[in-house]
Structure 1
Amino acid sequence: MLLVYPVTEIVKYIPVLLGTVIVGTTSGNPMWSLIPVALVAAYGVARWFTTSFRIDADHVQLRTGILQRRKLSVPRSRIRSVDVEADLLHRVLGLAVLEIGTGKQTAKGEEFKLDALDTRRIPPLRTELLSHTAEHTEATEDSPPDAESGMEIGHWQPAWVRYAPLSLTGLAIFAPLLGLAAQYGLIGWISRSSVVRQLGDDSATGVALVVVGLTVLSLVLVSLAACAQYLATWFGLRVLDNGATLHLRHGLFTARQITLDLARFRGATLSEPLLLRAARAAQLEMIMTGENPRQKVLPQAPRAAVERTLDELLRTRRRPRASEGAERAPASAAGSVGGSDAVVAWSAGESRSVGELRSVGVSVPLTKTSTPEVPSSDVANILAPQPITGATLGTVPLHQHGPAARRRRYTRALWPIGVAVVVMVVLSVTGTSLPGWAWGVPVVLALVLAALAEDRYRGLGHRVLPGTTGPTWLITRRGSLDRNRDCLEAPGIIGWTVRQTFWQRRAGLATIVAATAAGRKGYLVVDIPIDQAAELIEAVTPGRLGYRH
């Protein structure tokens, strides 16, 4: 620790120390630049004398600070996660950093971290701190389960590196470096180079080759940066599920171990950005209360591997706990709606009005328009959906939202093009001459935006899967450039909001927001027909709507 703390502080203040070295060198007194280094190292050594922690039967306490003393105390019953991180220096010395999470978002510098612990003390300490989570399992052993034991539901493979360039990670790394190089004269050096000076007005081909070469070089550098970051972060990933906790271990230079309490698990998100989707790949994130809203379980990986891990992750959640089984079994077996004993059953091709839906206990919002007819096929799919055998929550087909939602996708995508064409026509009529190629720009943009609108509609959908042996699941999907398929369990939903904009009311559509304390706090079913809004809510959370008299 006496070595780790000084080195950590010196690395943290490298920009300031470089500035003092430059100032000392230019002033002719380079030795003065060593004084800040000595002060920073002394501060790191002083941390060892002023840092201590204590673990008792009820609390974990940490005392830190040199000039300003600070004492943090966390009840052990509030501990929800225990993460372990070890950079290269810690690993060489056999040390690690243990961070305790309580499910509360904390500011930077306020985390509860036990730094530079002996790695041999980490496994028993983590098991002890998470011992209270053993009550959420069905195990009969007296001892709590080990966080690093359990069934492996996912692991990293070297071939997955090929998916790293399909994200924006490399650009996020390369762009700041390029901007820093430009500030220090990169653009001036290129403009003064002999290659650029030899280019004249008649060297269009040479200019094009230079531009293409720089573009290809940039793409190569961005891809290499993405691959390097991918390897450094996710090398050796293993995901273990022991029934009480989910344990993730990954990292090349900095090894990270993340332990999550599955009692706070509420679902998962299958993320499919456009480039990953084109390569039949995806990412997997967890939906948990009090944790990172985008806690990643699997990075960029083949879609089949992500779906397999998603199915294994949700498999244990499909089995009800003993307290839930007795409550859910009668409702599931009888197919009751809203807590009523009535059974909903319609023949194919029939339609039922809103009044008839209320007669069986389904709450439907009152409108001033004429009573709509609800096709029985849609009602049956929403109110009493059947489990899909042989399919997972990541592959089960979703219900599309109809022609009105498709028209809305096209209208929102193409109205700017219509405005641009009108402006161009007005300019032409008033005598302003436009180049011929300008008329082709709206046509090309219209084709691109129409394809985007169609893809957005194809990505729009939802499904309700009943909880025959566990909780009911709401599956919703939306987006094109950044498409997410959210799988949210019904017990995690704490409220509903039905929103309608002016244009949605004209189209007979609505957006349903499922409120939850987990993840992004709200999960949307976008542009669903308003006639199906109440039925969807009733199918996911029976009785939540109440009854209108």
Structure 2
Amino acid sequence: MTAPPPGVAPPLAQGEAAAAAEAEQPWLRLDRRMLLVHPVSEIVKLLPVLLLSLVVGSQSGNHVWGLIAVAAFVALGLSRWFTTSYRIGPVHVQLRQGLFRKRLLSIPRNRIRSVDVEAGVLHRLLGLSIVRIGTGQQVGSKPDAAKFELNALSAALVPDLRTALLSHTPETVPGPGSIAAERPVHEIGHWRPAWVRYAPFSVTGVVTIGAIVGIAFQYGIAREIARSSTVTEGIESAERLGIALVVVFGIVVLLIAASALACIRYLLAYGNLTLTDNGRTLHVSHGLLKTRQTTLDRARLRGTTLKEPLLLRLAGGARLDAVMTGVSAEKHESSLLLPQAPRREAERVMATVIGDSRQAAVALRPHGAAARRRRYTRALIPAGVALLAAVVLTGVGRPVIWPVWAGIGVATVAGAALAWDRYRGLGHAVLPGWLITRSGSLDRARDSLEANGIIGWTVRQTFFQRRSGVATVIAATPAGTGKYLVIDLPVDQAWTLVESVTPGGGDVWARR
């Protein structure tokens, strides 16, 4: 059998003849240009260790250890080309890799759910791309056990390969260079530079600063900074100005730095984002320096999730993710449709993707007085416990300073505000063929789930829910997070909700 060119997939087929033909195909190597990529990547990833070895060598006058480290990293990177091979057959895609520990990964082509394409700066300069094939499954307890990654292939081969791998019927697979089989592509979403204003309303910048501080402590940089004359002079200045003023100044500096880092990360990660639709697949492309392209099969689309964290919601923004069968919601970028953007734009894209303009405008049904009471009770418990402790201390003659009373007051107001917002965001709606549910305050999410994608229902009651007469209805699905919750619904409405979404699914239980 004549082997297809590297990176080209033969038409999908089934049966013994296809399996026999696949067994005759030779194993292929990755693109030779990756021999320039992997050594550099290994050195960059282990740069702190490399720098440490060079410092030790310079202090001792012996640079052999630094040269040995560089040689080891280069050899490790080069070995990947010699120990990695792949085969794309009509039935399976297969990957062999490993130097000391060999591994063979075989994925049936009809189980492929997503194809991600990524290219860093060096990959783009060399005309290469990383192709990741996803099935949404996890082997054992190791997430990377089922990771199928081709690093790297020629970027010119990737579009046809991606189309072929996501085509689950032989007759829809176009040949190389085919034009007649191509579907018209429509752009339904496009990133705009003005959206960067939503970047500071996230914890990205704070997390980045935390990572930098952690690295500084890990490699001893923080200790050297603490011993510097600049820090000593800063402490003396703080003592003269007052601790309170210095704390306020530090918070302001932290917010400015976090906002700047969040904006930079947002630009690099999501710049030039486009979302296109050809009627069969959704294609998301984004990134300035490091580009990423994700192709999602529309046949696997089961809904969307509109994410509205508190700070982003106050700024009028939202983020949109797809609920896909076989694509785990834990892989955030794999299901991304739109990053932080104006809420109205996110709602427009959502309506276009799921083909239902009613989703964003429909009013959600509140869950009643018991659900409201539970939110206020849980939100005010910390302040109540603190107040009780302060009263007891006062009663036994132990004075409580005024900042404690002020803190209790602030905690009470904050708890009440949180409870009010949590109840305001709690609700659900049922449209023909759809279940819509929303919950949360600090991390609010509105899920639109297709009824046909629901494979089971659970009505759950904790001890305190039974006392309050409410229940949580769980819709099980092989898509997204695997389950979507309607929280604290009046118990007499639980199975009625199930019946309205899945006729026949709740009627037998509602009569009991």
TM-score tier by shorter-chain length is 0.7 to 0.9
Cα pair 1:133 1:244 within 8 Å, conserved: no
Deviations 1:411-442 (CA, angstroms, capped at 9, x unpaired): 12123323322222222221212224433332
How much does 1:100 deviate? 1.5
User: Is 1:66 matched with 2:67?
Assistant: no
Q: Residue 36 and residue 420 in structure 1: after superposition, are their counterparts in 2 closer, same or farther (change >3 A)?
A: closer
The correspondence of residues 348-427 of structure 1 with structure 2, limited to 5 A, is 392-427=358-393
2:318 counterpart (275, 279, 282): 282
Separation in structure 1 between the aligned mates of residue 380 and residue 171 of structure 2, nearest angstrom: 55
Q: Which amino acid aligns with 2:308?
A: E
1:130 counterpart (141, 157, 166): 166
SS at match of 1:100: strand
SS at match of 1:108: helix
In our comparison, the structure showing a higher alpha carbon Rg is 1
TM-score, length-scaled by structure 2: 0.84
Q: Residue 134 and residue 299 in structure 1: after superposition, are their counterparts in 2 closer, same or farther (change >3 A)?
A: farther
Which residues of structure 1 form unaligned runs of 5+?
319-390, 467-471
Q: Which amino acid aligns with 2:448?
A: C
User: Is 1:15 matched with 2:48?
Assistant: yes
Partner of 2:351: 311
Cα pair 1:136 1:244 within 8 Å, conserved: no
Deviations 1:143-171 (CA, angstroms, capped at 9, x unpaired): 6546xx62212111100111001001111
Partner of 1:381: none
Partner of 1:39: 72
Separation in structure 1 between the aligned mates of residue 40 and residue 159 of structure 2, nearest angstrom: 26
User: Is 1:196 matched with 2:235?
Assistant: yes
Q: Which amino acid aligns with 1:450?
A: A
Deviations 1:89-138 (CA, angstroms, capped at 9, x unpaired): 0100111111112232363375212222111111122222222269899x
How much does 1:537 deviate? 0.6
Separation in structure 2 between the aligned mates of residue 409 and residue 28 of structure 1, nearest angstrom: 66
Separation in structure 1 between the aligned mates of residue 201 and residue 393 of structure 2, nearest angstrom: 42
The correspondence of residues 473-512 of structure 1 with structure 2, limited to 5 A, is 473-512=434-473
Partner of 1:528: 489
Partner of 2:30: none
SS at match of 1:398: coil
Partner of 1:101: 134
Q: Which amino acid aligns with 1:535?
A: T
Could you tell which deviates more after superposition, 457-466 or 121-130?
Answer: 121-130
Partner of 1:218: 254
How much does 1:22 deviate? 2.4
Separation in structure 2 between the aligned mates of residue 487 and residue 130 of structure 1, nearest angstrom: 24
Partner of 1:377: none
Q: Which amino acid aligns with 1:12?
A: K
Q: Which amino acid aligns with 1:197?
A: E
Cα pair 1:153 1:241 within 8 Å, conserved: yes
Partner of 1:376: none
Separation in structure 1 between the aligned mates of residue 172 and residue 156 of structure 2, nearest angstrom: 27
Q: Residue 451 and residue 22 in structure 1: after superposition, are their counterparts in 2 closer, same or farther (change >3 A)?
A: same
Q: Residue 314 and residue 49 in structure 1: after superposition, are their counterparts in 2 closer, same or farther (change >3 A)?
A: same
1:84 counterpart (117, 123, 127): 117
Cα pair 2:301 2:324 within 8 Å, conserved: yes
Cα pair 2:317 2:340 within 8 Å, conserved: yes
Cα pair 2:114 2:133 within 8 Å, conserved: yes
User: Is 1:177 matched with 2:212?
Assistant: yes
Partner of 2:198: 163
Cα pair 1:513 1:523 within 8 Å, conserved: yes
Separation in structure 2 between the aligned mates of residue 420 and residue 271 of structure 1, nearest angstrom: 33
Cα pair 1:85 1:96 within 8 Å, conserved: yes
1:256 counterpart (292, 301, 308): 292
Partner of 2:309: 273
Partner of 2:63: 30
Partner of 2:14: none
Partner of 1:296: 336
User: Is 1:6 matched with 2:39?
Assistant: yes
Which residues of structure 2 form unaligned runs of 5+?
1-32
Q: Residue 501 and residue 134 in structure 1: after superposition, are their counterparts in 2 closer, same or farther (change >3 A)?
A: farther
How much does 1:249 deviate? 0.5
Cα pair 2:437 2:448 within 8 Å, conserved: yes
How much does 1:213 deviate? 2.5
Q: Residue 136 and residue 456 in structure 1: after superposition, are their counterparts in 2 closer, same or farther (change >3 A)?
A: farther
Q: Residue 489 and residue 192 in structure 1: after superposition, are their counterparts in 2 closer, same or farther (change >3 A)?
A: closer
Could you tell which deviates more after superposition, 399-408 or 172-181?
Answer: 172-181
1:542 counterpart (480, 503, 507): 503
Cα pair 2:275 2:285 within 8 Å, conserved: yes
Partner of 1:517: 478
SS at match of 2:144: coil
Partner of 2:8: none
SS at match of 1:275: helix
SS at match of 1:193: helix
Separation in structure 1 between the aligned mates of residue 107 and residue 470 of structure 2, nearest angstrom: 47
Partner of 1:443: 409
Partner of 2:6: none
User: Is 1:431 matched with 2:386?
Assistant: no
Separation in structure 2 between the aligned mates of residue 174 and residue 442 of structure 1, nearest angstrom: 31
TM-score, length-scaled by structure 1: 0.79
Could you tell which deviates more after superposition, 189-198 or 118-127?
Answer: 189-198
How much does 1:142 deviate? 11
Separation in structure 2 between the aligned mates of residue 135 and residue 512 of structure 1, nearest angstrom: 42
Q: Residue 49 and residue 441 in structure 1: after superposition, are their counterparts in 2 closer, same or farther (change >3 A)?
A: closer
RMSD: 2.5
The correspondence of residues 461-480 of structure 1 with structure 2, limited to 5 A, is 461-466=427-432, 472-480=433-441
Separation in structure 1 between the aligned mates of residue 198 and residue 256 of structure 2, nearest angstrom: 14
Separation in structure 1 between the aligned mates of residue 468 and residue 193 of structure 2, nearest angstrom: 49
SS at match of 2:361: coil
Separation in structure 2 between the aligned mates of residue 220 and residue 275 of structure 1, nearest angstrom: 16
Separation in structure 2 between the aligned mates of residue 537 and residue 135 of structure 1, nearest angstrom: 39
Separation in structure 2 between the aligned mates of residue 432 and residue 191 of structure 1, nearest angstrom: 43
Cα pair 1:100 1:113 within 8 Å, conserved: yes
SS at match of 1:517: coil
How much does 1:546 deviate? 4.9
How much does 1:271 deviate? 0.5
Partner of 2:267: 231
Could you tell which deviates more after superposition, 171-180 or 78-87?
Answer: 171-180
Separation in structure 2 between the aligned mates of residue 19 and residue 433 of structure 1, nearest angstrom: 54
How much does 1:194 deviate? 2.7
Separation in structure 2 between the aligned mates of residue 10 and residue 437 of structure 1, nearest angstrom: 52
User: Is 1:152 matched with 2:187?
Assistant: yes
Separation in structure 2 between the aligned mates of residue 287 and residue 114 of structure 1, nearest angstrom: 25
Cα pair 2:499 2:507 within 8 Å, conserved: no
Deviations 1:239-276 (CA, angstroms, capped at 9, x unpaired): 11122211110111111111112222111110000011
Q: Residue 437 and residue 90 in structure 1: after superposition, are their counterparts in 2 closer, same or farther (change >3 A)?
A: closer
Q: Residue 461 and residue 133 in structure 1: after superposition, are their counterparts in 2 closer, same or farther (change >3 A)?
A: farther
Aligned residues: 462
Q: Which amino acid aligns with 2:341?
A: A
